Amino acid sequence: MMLSTLLLLFGAGMWAPGLEAVNIDVFPEYKISPIEKSWKIQKKIPSFTARSVLLVDENSMVNLYSYNANLRLPMASLTKLMTALLIVENHDLNEIVLISKASSVTEGSTMNLQNGEMLTVQKLLKGLLMNSGNDAAIALAEYHSGTVYEFVSLMNIRAHELFLFNTNFVNPHGLDSSVHYASSRDLVVLAKQLWQYKEIQKIVDTQLDTVISEVSDDGTQTEHILKNTNKLLGTFFQVHGMKTGTTPNAGQCLMLVVEKNNKFYFLVILGSEDRYQDARNILYELLGE
């Protein structure tokens, strides 16, 4: 099969047997939509600090703006989008999860899970996506697969099923590793897959919530106050979430779902020095006031 045919079938930047991952910037004709071409002619280029940016129409998945869209970069807690996807695809939200000691001592951002408490899958998803709880990621991984190692294997299998061939996971939460990475284009495909779940839409669009654990053997319950890490919720346009992420290696990362004039858009920002200002600049410049 000719290389050009394979690129059309699998998409630029995607892998096929016998091919290396292709960087879309080598094949600009597969990257630039008519809208983006028009903006380039008009020099309508937003200012940003990010190492990679991608703005996509949610319905058509047409690029409205792209910069290093297939560059493999650390994505920090945007990793949790895949963790959430595996869970919602395979579990009822009312299933009960027992929190292990390993979950309760997880480093980084947490929802403050306690060893031995029990919460529903739904409540853990809230802690995962709102608080960016690394402890919730470990708890859900252990619940689904028994071990984090097995869960990560499933994350990578699911990534390949979705043709995310510029993505590799080594953990379910996104803490830094040299071989833990994704591209903006892969993350948009992942977000599109996850966005179809109404409960996920509701969670990522919630600023504040409180969840209470199930009654334990000693009759006690634990309250967890959740605050969405996305500071753009309710500030401009109609921002509906979806995930933030920050680590020393990844810098500031952001996946946004934005609604304007009854149309939805995905915006991915990786490796930013100021993700929120980058997002404002990009959206105001390309989508207008």
Active site residues: 77, 80, 132
Angle of CA points 173, 127, 105, to nearest 5°: 60
Q: For the sheet containing 238-247, what is the strand order?
A: 63-67, 52-57, 263-272, 251-260, 238-247
Number of residues that make up the chain: 289
List the alpha helices (DSSP H) in the chain.
3-10, 34-41, 80-90, 101-104, 121-129, 134-145, 148-161, 184-195, 198-204, 275-287
Of the chain, the end-to-end C-alpha distance in Å amounts to: 46
Q: Of 57, 53, 78, nearest to 68 (Cα)?
A: 53
Element (H, E) at 52: strand 52-57
Angle of CA points 213, 219, 225, to nearest 5°: 25
Q: Of 117, 103, 81, 135, nearest to 127 (Cα)?
A: 135
Three state DSSP letters for 111-152: CCCCCCCEEEHHHHHHHHHCCCCHHHHHHHHHHHHCCHHHHH
